[in-house]
Amino acid sequence: MTEQRMAFKTEVSRLLDIVVHSLYSEKEIFLRELISNASDACDKLRYQALTVPELTGDDPDFKIKVSIDAKARTLTIEDNGIGMSRDELIENLGTIAQSGTSAFIKGIEQAQKGDITQIGQFGVGFYAAFMVAQMVEVTSRKAGTEEAWCWRSDGKGEFSIEEEEKSTRGTTITLYLKQGEDEFLLEDRLRGIIKLYSDHIALPIMLGDEEEPANCASALWLRGKNDITQEQYKEFYHHVAHAFEEPAMTLHWKAEGKIEYTGLLYVPGMKPYDLFDPKRRHGVKLYVKRVFITDEAEGLVPPYLRFLRGVIDSEDLPLNVSREMLQNNPILAKIRQGITRKVLNDLLKHSENKDSYATIWENFGAVIKEGVYEDTEHRDLLLKLVRCHSTHDGNLTSLADYVSRMKEGQTSIYYMNGDNLDTLARSPHLEGYRARGIEVLLLTETVDDFWPAAVSTFDDKEFKSATRAGQDLDKIAPLEKKDDKKEPEAPADAIGSLIALMKLSLSDKVKDVRTSDRLTDSAVCLAADEGDIDIHLERFLKQHNQIRSPSARVLEINPSHPLIRRMAEKATKDGAKDALGDIASLLLDQARLMDGEPLADPEGFSRKLGEVLSKAI
Ligand code: ADP
Ligand code: MG
């Protein structure tokens, strides 16, 4: 078959442009990317050969070879891994196979705002070759097949593919170096790069005609902690996580006892773009006795630790374990338990370092809180990891610190859900808490609508939403005010009449009307009854069409507010119902607005407001 030319997918062309011009400050990392791919290719074949040994045949020792031809000015990276068929060459090197196009485009946009490190998550690895090469040739023969194909491109919008001779399986990549890139023709320079970035690769990387590999060639995670430098840990993180930044935490341990495995896991320094994408890639690779098995082991880590990256190498799983066999596998379940406990305990230790932990929490707190909700077994540990904003100060607080600041007589942990901290801080619901110096946790993430109710207690203190009615605020003494000019309350019988009248005129729009302990400055607010669904959660469910009509709320009124006092005074007089009906309805709308609720009837609201205003003039 003769040569065939094809165009890159649009997004590849754009990517190539960015890679070549701005992605990496260190051009030399192209070699790391190509070696990393070669190593992945060997891992894949090693796994397949477990069930089909013929695939590796008489060449069972995997290796990577890097060689130079100074005269031709080419650099070649060769592996005896799984190789690629014609279709795979086109698919893997001509499109962005890994990430959905939309996520990719989003990444590009971020990259153009200067945040280019993000793009490392998209598997641009191979294209890094075009930073130093004017032409790249990939000749590949898939293990178990006879034919070989050559993919060739100058990285400018097109590539070609044609049949070729190749006597051995695997992939050979030849870079025709650009002018000015001659440093990559020097063996010493290449040895330095391999040592720096690829030392942890578990296969020998042979340079030129040398007898000894240029790297350590043993699995990094099996070396002793003392034999590994920070730099090596970091490079391995870059390799497994496709990341560029410093990891926030590195966990390296060996579990001994009934179940034996080695873990080398990282908490990333940045939030992966697909943290909430159900189709996201798995971050933890499963090895069995040093053989790569899969990076799709469902159930290796719990879903709420899905931000972890790294490697687990098991001694107990059978080598011929298939991906299907891993489902509901009891050994895997034990490993997951071990990983979970290790990670949570290490996070807890790490949380003593407030600043560093705050970054981890900012990136992954929303996901960890899913665990508080889902994982009852580790709930106590997870609750110790939780950090929340609160009315105490601008910083995040732990639940233990909250409890240590609880007021005399306070028996519950109060929280309030809302869309953002600003609206929450202004909410009338908080007035009574503020007046008593009671701290309220301010929760703004979707998952916050679920976990406090599910947990019910921390340190024997019950979680209570500050928006519920009938709370025990009266048991806690208000703070002494310096200029204490507390407004007098309206007389009880007048308030009684006002409440009766408001109930009558608002009828089924409210569940009840009551006086409030929680209000100091506002006239009214809406509250959920004990046992009712939380207001913010209800709105969330409504947005997701889980419920249709909102439930009626309790309207709380502030008996010391001047407006309520005037209304109470009027309520005992003749004709009160006509005079106060519109005002009651307006107050209800006002309370809804303060909660960020839309008005049920904007037209009625405007008309009533107009009438009340014109009477007032
Ligand atoms: P990533 O490594 O993140 O998947 P790359 O751009 O580095 O992204 O590589 C794209 C794909 O090309 C790989 O996923 C793999 O399928 C294929 N590939 C690249 N290099 C090789 C190789 N040496 N042998 C076999 N397949 C390869
Ligand atoms: Mg790669």
Q: Is 367 helix (H, G, I), strand (E, B) or coil?
A: helix
Mean pLDDT, the chain, whole residue set: 88
Both 248 and 204 in one domain: the answer is: no
Both 60 and 207 in one domain: the answer is: yes
Question: Is residue 599 predicted with pLDDT exceeding 60?
Answer: yes
Both 38 and 186 in one domain: the answer is: yes
Domain at 76, CATH number: 3.30.565.10
Domain assignment present for residue 53? The answer is yes
Alpha carbons within 13 angstroms on the beta-carbon side of residue 153 total: 25
Both 252 and 203 in one domain: the answer is: no
- Ligand 1 atom nearest the C-alpha of 125 is 7
Q: Whose CA is nearest to atom 10 of ligand 1?
A: 92
What does each C-alpha distance from 526 to 231, 239, 252, 476 come to in angstroms? 57, 54, 51, 21
CA of 308 relative to ligand 1 center, distance in Å = 22
Using the 3D structure, point to which of 305, 329, 350 is the last residue of a domain: 350
First to last CA, the chain: 92
Both 198 and 93 in one domain: the answer is: yes
Question: Is residue 105 predicted with pLDDT exceeding 70?
Answer: no
Q: What total of structural domains would you count in the chain?
A: 3
Residues 6 or more apart whose Cβ sits within 8 Å of residue 260? 254, 314, 315, 316
Which pLDDT value is given to residue 336? 95
Percent pLDDT > 70 in the chain is 92
CA of 542 relative to ligand 2 center, distance in Å = 43
Ligand located closest to 79 CA: 1
Give phi and psi for 466, each to the nearest 5. Answer: -70, -10
Both 211 and 239 in one domain: the answer is: no
The pTM of the full predicted model, rounded to 2 decimals, is: 0.78
Domain assignment present for residue 436? The answer is no
Q: Whose CA is nearest to atom 4 of ligand 1?
A: 123
Question: Is residue 499 predicted with pLDDT exceeding 90?
Answer: yes
> Do residues 459 and 399 touch, judged by C-beta distance below 8 A?
yes
Using the 3D structure, point to which of 309, 335, 350 is the last residue of a domain: 350
pLDDT tens digits, 380-411: 999 999 999 999 998 999 999 999 999 988 99
Which pLDDT value is given to residue 598? 80
Which pLDDT value is given to residue 101? 44
**Least-confidence region, from 65-79, 252-266, 466-480:** 466-480
The confidence band for 333, taking pLDDT boundaries of 50, 70 and 90, is: very high
Tokens matching residue 214: 């240029």
Among 42, 92, 93, 95, which residue has the most ligand 1 atoms within 8 Å of its CB, making it the best to mutate? 92
Which pLDDT value is given to residue 100? 42
Question: Is residue 99 predicted with pLDDT exceeding 60?
Answer: no
Domain assignment present for residue 252? The answer is yes
CA of 555 relative to ligand 2 center, distance in Å = 60
Which pLDDT value is given to residue 352? 95
Domain assignment present for residue 386? The answer is no
CA of 127 relative to ligand 2 center, distance in Å = 9
Question: Is residue 335 predicted with pLDDT exceeding 90?
Answer: yes
Using the 3D structure, point to which of 187, 217, 247 is the last residue of a domain: 217
CA dist 96 and 9 (Å) reads: 8
CA dist 3 and 150 (Å) reads: 9
pLDDT tens digits, 472-485: 777 787 777 655 56
Among 37, 85, 136, 242, which residue has the most ligand 1 atoms within 8 Å of its CB, making it the best to mutate? 37
The average pLDDT across 16-31 equals 73
Domain assignment present for residue 383? The answer is no
Domain at 568, CATH number: 1.20.120.790
Higher-confidence position of 112 and 17: 17
The average pLDDT across 164-192 equals 96
Which pLDDT value is given to residue 490? 85
Domain assignment present for residue 544? The answer is yes
Domain at 281, CATH number: 3.30.230.80
Domain span holding position 40: 4-217
Ligand located closest to 142 CA: 1
Residue type at 396 in one-letter notation: L
Domain assignment present for residue 596? The answer is yes
Both 180 and 276 in one domain: the answer is: no
pLDDT tens digits, 33-77: 899 899 999 999 998 998 899 999 889 999 999 999 999 999 999
Residues 6 or more apart whose Cβ sits within 8 Å of residue 502? 513, 555, 557, 580, 584
Both 81 and 8 in one domain: the answer is: yes
Question: Is residue 135 predicted with pLDDT exceeding 90?
Answer: yes
Residues of 397-413 as b/e, b for ≥16 C-beta within 10 angstroms? bbbeebbeebeeebebb
Which pLDDT value is given to residue 4? 92
Both 18 and 148 in one domain: the answer is: yes
The average pLDDT across 353-358 equals 94
Both 242 and 210 in one domain: the answer is: no
Ligand located closest to 64 CA: 1
Ligand located closest to 129 CA: 1
Q: Which residues line ligand 1 (CB under 6 A)?
A: 33, 37-38, 41, 79, 81-84, 92-93, 98, 123-126, 171, 242
Both 169 and 35 in one domain: the answer is: yes
Domain assignment present for residue 13? The answer is yes
CA dist 466 and 391 (Å) reads: 12
Both 18 and 154 in one domain: the answer is: yes
CA dist 430 and 445 (Å) reads: 19
CA of 126 relative to ligand 1 center, distance in Å = 7
